[in-house]
Amino acid sequence: MRLFSDARNALFIWLKSPSWFILSVILDLLFMIVYGFVTAPIKGKIVEHVLVIGGLISQAAQESGEVAVQKGQSIIALMLERPEVSPYFHSLLLLFVILAVASFVTYILFQACVWFLAHRRASMEMDLPEFISRFASLNIWWGILVMLYSAVTLIDSIRIAVTNSQSDLFSQSLMVLAVIVGVVASWTYALPMRQSGWRGAIDGSVSVFKRWKVTLPATLLVIVGFVLLNYAIMGIANLSTTAAFIAGIVLLFPIMAWARLFMVESARHHVDA
């Protein structure tokens, strides 16, 4: 079956190029570290603002004896109408923009490089600066979707904080949609990058869905790999949390490198737009 042949080829290609493989693993590890270092303080401030806004709206509602959020009332309108909340909301918007820019720059710098390594091992003829340019252009459009998703979830988290409710079907549906978009975006990275920008995102997505008989089984195989890894780490954690942490680092990033090259191989043979 071609699916397993591509998976095996991806493994053999990396084994034949250990230096490239190690470089890909190191870049993934550095991305996790740098991304966490850059975004953690901003995310912390965002959480603080969400809690403050939720607290202020709830407090005002208790003092007036009204329901915090009236039926059909917009959370955004509510935050803009209340003078004690409005400054925090504007500050929250600024933090959101800063987080988006920091995330985008960090993501492009590292992920463009690891996807370039996967494509280069699969015999792609393109230099790194050109690939980074096309990768960044493609991700502007995926980034817009990520920002929309993040904005909606941020507003939803404020709603949950104000109403003291639990995550509902809307929140869960957003999460499922985000996973689907993430999978499709990853497949567009795996395509040969002949097109970039919105054209690359749209045409690539169409190719992914048209070739679902290839992309779906391949995606499921990658998911199975990560699920097995998760169970293995959980089993090790029962013995030692330190050993589980080390095993997670040692195993996670090599599997990520293999998954990328496997998707590139599958896209090159079956999904090329």
pLDDT tens-digit series, residues 81-128: 667 777 888 898 899 999 999 999 999 999 999 999 998 887 777 788
Q: Which tokens hold the place of 28?
A: 């993934």
Q: What is the pTM of this model?
A: 0.84
Single-letter code of the amino acid located at 162: V
As a whole number, mean pLDDT of residues 245-261 equals 88
Domain ranges for the chain: 14-271
* Weakest mean pLDDT among 14-28, 91-105, 167-181: 167-181
Is the pLDDT at 221 greater than 50? The verdict is yes
What DSSP assignment string belongs to 120-189? HHTT----HHHHHHHHHHHHHHHHHHHHHHHHHHHHHHHHHHHHTPPP-HHHHHHHHHHHHHHHHHHHHH
- Average pLDDT for the chain: 83
Report the half-sphere exposure of 145 (CA within 13 A, side-chain side): 17
Q: What was the pLDDT predicted at 223?
A: 92
pLDDT of residue 5: 81
Q: What is the pLDDT of residues 44-92, one digit of tens each?
A: 998 888 888 777 776 765 655 454 455 445 566 666 666 777 788 889 8
